[in-house]
Amino acid sequence: MTLRLAVMLAALAGLLPAQATTAQLEEENAKYLRLLSDWGGLVRYGSENAELRPPAPGVNRVVFFGDDVFEKWDTFFPGKPYLNRGITHQATPQMLVRFRQDVISLKPKVVVIMGGTNDFAGYAGPATEGTIAENMETMVELAKLHGIKVVLASVTPICDCFEQLSARRPQGKIIGLNGWLKRYAASAGAVYADFYSVLAQGRNMRQELTVDGLIPNEKGYALMAPVAEKAIGEALR
């Protein structure tokens, strides 16, 4: 795919600002090339997974499995046996494709699953709360089948602080999905991690906690970390 074609597609989809920089255009082109060659994202962590040994007895390995919000978590639990398996721009059908490789095969005690915001944005095609729910249910069922405890993470809030994001990720849909995730976690024997509440003010991500209206900054991740730790502890108990 040429850079010109990638730019045209991204512009039509509303994924790039009107006056995008050359760096943004090149980054978007690279994402389209990766999507065409490896739709499920199996290459991203394939080499790292191959080099991992099974966890030692008594070690509570945890996999954080999801999208941009996990992949860009820079200060990621130093010293903890936690693995980050987030991929930017991934939606739940793509996560389902790599669930065996990036979760089951790593033999964690707990998986923390976050997904849905990129489904709403249309990165993997049209999606509804129903299709997201079905993908989440399948991942939870697979985890339970292999003896892995599950933490279902809320979708994080967004704000139009820097550019308009709510047109592609309607805040009402985010709240609705989080409501379903909380109810499903209770019925499925999973734990619900409410990242949304510590980052939101009303329906918006607090501007001081985000780098771009979607991804938390260091302060935002610092608020998320204890929520994750508490949920993991509950899952292990």
Lowest-pLDDT choice from 4-13, 52-61, 105-114: 4-13
Residue in the block written with tokens 């990621």? 76
| DSSP secondary structure string for all residues of 175-228 | HHHHHHHHHHHHHHT-EEE-HHHHHEETTEE-GGGBSSSSSB-HHHHHHHHHHH
Give residue 12's pLDDT band: very low, low, confident or very high (50, 70, 90).
Answer: very low
19: pLDDT strictly greater than 90 = no
Whether residue 201 contacts residue 235, with contact meaning beta carbons closer than 8 Å, is answered with no
Instruction: Pick the closest to residue 124 from 16, 229, 228, 31 (CA basis).
Output: 31
Residue 117 three-state SS = helix
User: Residue 102: pLDDT above 90?
Assistant: yes
Q: What is the SS3 assignment for 150?
A: strand
How far is 99 from 143, CA to CA, in rounded Å? 9
Tokens encoding 117? 């915001």
Band of residue 20 on the pLDDT scale cut at 50, 70, 90: low
Task: Considering only residues 12 and 17, tell me which one the structure prediction assigns the higher pLDDT.
Answer: 17
Predicted pLDDT at 193: 98
pLDDT tens profile 120-159: 999 999 999 999 999 999 999 999 999 999 999 999 999 9
Is residue 7 pLDDT above 70, yes or no? no
Confidence grade of residue 97 (pLDDT, cut at 50, 70, 90):
very high
Confidence of residue 100 (pLDDT cuts 50, 70, 90): very high
- Beta-ladder partners of 158: 204
Cα–Cα distance measured from residue 182 to residue 178, given in angstroms and rounded to the nearest whole number: 6
Q: Could you tell me the domains of the chain?
A: 56-236 (3.40.50.1110)
Dihedral sign (CA 200, 13, 39, 43): negative
Separation of alpha carbons 115 and 132, rounded Å: 8
Q: Using CA atoms, how far apart are residues 72 and 69, in angstroms rounded to an integer?
A: 6
The span from the CA of 196 to the CA of 154, in Å, is 6
Instruction: Please tell me what DSSP assigns to residue 158.
Output: B
pLDDT over threshold 70, residue 223? yes
Please enumerate in sequence order all residues whose Cβ is within 8 A of that of 162, keeping only pairs 6 or more positions apart, or say none.
212, 213
Sequence letter at residue 43 = V
Q: What is the pTM of this model?
A: 0.87
pLDDT at 172: 97
pLDDT score of 13 more than 60: no
Please tell me the predicted confidence (pLDDT) of residue 30: 59
In the chain the beta strands, taken as DSSP E runs, fall at 62-66, 82-86, 110-113, 149-153, 191-193, 200-201, 204-205
R_g over Cα of the chain:
17
What integer best gives the mean pLDDT of the chain? Answer: 91
pLDDT digit string (tens) for 21-79?
A: 776 666 665 556 666 668 999 999 999 999 999 999 999 999 999 999 999 999 999 99
Q: Dump pLDDT digits (tens) for 158-217.
A: 999 999 999 999 999 999 999 999 999 999 999 999 999 999 999 999 999 999 999 999
Confidence (pLDDT) at 228: 98
Please provide the size of the chain in residues.
237
- H or E segment and range at residue 92: helix 92-97
